[in-house]
């Protein structure tokens, strides 16, 4: 039972989540690692649904990093399969809830079936007006910033942008998250306290919360506890708190 009361007028606009601990959860339950990721996908469905219901503007989830390719073939295959299953089973409900899906990362580096499913989900929900759901797949934040720099350079080379007009807004508008508010709350489960190349630019002033629960056990009570912790922080953005 979720007994935490949230201040609905001070919700984080943008929540980022590093869903960590699926492997340890599987180990603890003496299950194959793929079952940990499957249980993690169940947790994810609830968090997306609830984010939409309570009125979070943007939710960004780290589903697969560019470094995750180095895991065993069996684990990579399991994650790719779950990704496909997730979009097949959830897309109708997400679309109905007006969720707008955007994939952050290099889709061209994915197997064709996954790439096509992600492209279809983006196209189908492109005009929705509810929760913006960013799913980072084959994503790395440094690569995202390098890509933005390259896009700026292309515009300069094409003569449509002057070097002196390159400012923070110009770079930001070339990130995958262009148009999104900056991350207010970054959550990483499982007790690890690292950012791991996730939304480095976007988290410049984010509040970080590190619950110890493993991702598959991250339920609504745990989620709302993170939001409540965020609401208890004093955010100064480099300035001074009011006396």
Distance CA 120, CA 166 (A): 33
Q: Which residue is nearest to ligand FPP (CB)?
A: 23
Residues 183, 3: contact at Cβ < 8 Å? no
Binding mask 179-198 for ligand FPP (x = CB under 6 A): -----------x--------
Q: State the minimum distance, in angstroms, from the CB of residue 34 to ligand FPP.
A: 10
Query: What's the min distance (Å) between Cβ of 137 and ligand FPP?
Result: 7
For residue 138, the surrounding DSSP H or E stretch is strand 132-139
Instruction: Name the catalytic one among 68, 128, 155, 197.
Output: 68
Concerning whether 68 is annotated as a catalytic residue, the answer is: yes
b/e 112-132 (16+ beta carbons within 10 angstroms → b):
eebbebbeebeebbeebebbb
DSSP 8-state symbol, 134: E
> Which residues, in sequence order, are CB contacts of 177 under 8 Å at separation 6+?
58, 60, 104, 134, 199, 202
* Token digits of residue 229: 């912790």
Rounded to the nearest angstrom, the gap between the alpha carbon of residue 119 and the centroid of all alpha carbons in its chain is 17
Nearer to ligand FPP, 110 or 152 (CB): 110
Give the per-residue contact string, 92-111, with ligand FPP (x = CB under 6 A; - = no).
Answer: --------------------
Task: Select from 15-23, 112-120, 165-173, 193-201 the region that touches ligand FPP (CB under 6 A).
Answer: 15-23
- 140 touches ligand FPP (CB under 6 A): no
Residues for the chain: how many in total?
243
Q: Are 32 and 23 in contact (CB under 8 A)?
A: no
Of 7, 9, 20, 219, catalytic: 20
Do the Cβ atoms of 84 and 110 come closer than 8 Å? no
Q: How far is the CB of 136 from ligand FPP (least distance, A)?
A: 9
CA distances from 103 to 4, 110, 197, 236 (A): 31, 12, 16, 31
91 binds ligand FPP (CB under 6 A): no
Q: 20 an active-site residue?
A: yes
Judged by CB under 6 A, the chain residues 28 through 87 that form the site for ligand FPP are 37, 40-41, 44, 63, 68, 79, 82-83, 86
Q: Which of 17, 118, 131, 135 binds ligand FPP (CB under 6 A)?
A: 135
The residues annotated with a catalytic role in the active site are: 20, 68
Note the residues at the interface with ligand FPP (CB under 6 A).
19-24, 37, 40-41, 44, 63, 68, 79, 82-83, 86, 135, 190, 215
């Amino acid at each position: 039972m979720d007994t935490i009361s949230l201040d609905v007028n001070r919700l984080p606009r943008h929540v980022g989540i590093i869903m960590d601990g699926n492997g340890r959860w599987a180990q603890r339950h003496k299950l194959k690692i793929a079952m940990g990721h499957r249980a993690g996908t169940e947790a994810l469905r609830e968090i997306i649904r609830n984010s939409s219901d309570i009125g979070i503007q943007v939710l960004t989830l780290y589903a697969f990093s560019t470094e995750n390719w180095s895991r065993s073939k069996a684990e990579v295959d399991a994650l790719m399969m779950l990704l496909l299953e997730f979009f097949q089973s959830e897309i109708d409900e997400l679309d109905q809830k007006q969720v707008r899906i955007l994939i952050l990362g290099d889709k061209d580096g994915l197997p064709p079936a996954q790439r096509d499913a992600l492209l279809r989900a983006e196209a189908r929900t492109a005009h929705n007006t509810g929760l913006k759901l960013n799913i980072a797949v084959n994503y790395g934040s440094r690569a995202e910033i390098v890509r933005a720099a390259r896009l700026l350079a292309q515009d300069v080379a094409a003569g449509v942008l002057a070097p002196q007009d390159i400012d923070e807004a110009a770079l930001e508008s070339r990130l995958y998250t262009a148009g999104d508010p900056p991350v207010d709350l970054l959550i990483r489960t499982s007790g690890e306290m690292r950012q791991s190349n996730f939304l480095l630019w976007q988290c410049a002033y984010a509040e970080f919360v590190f619950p110890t629960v493993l991702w598959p056990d991250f339920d609504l009570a745990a989620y709302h506890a993170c939001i409540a912790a965020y609401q208890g922080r004093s955010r100064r953005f480099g300035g001074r708190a009011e006396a």
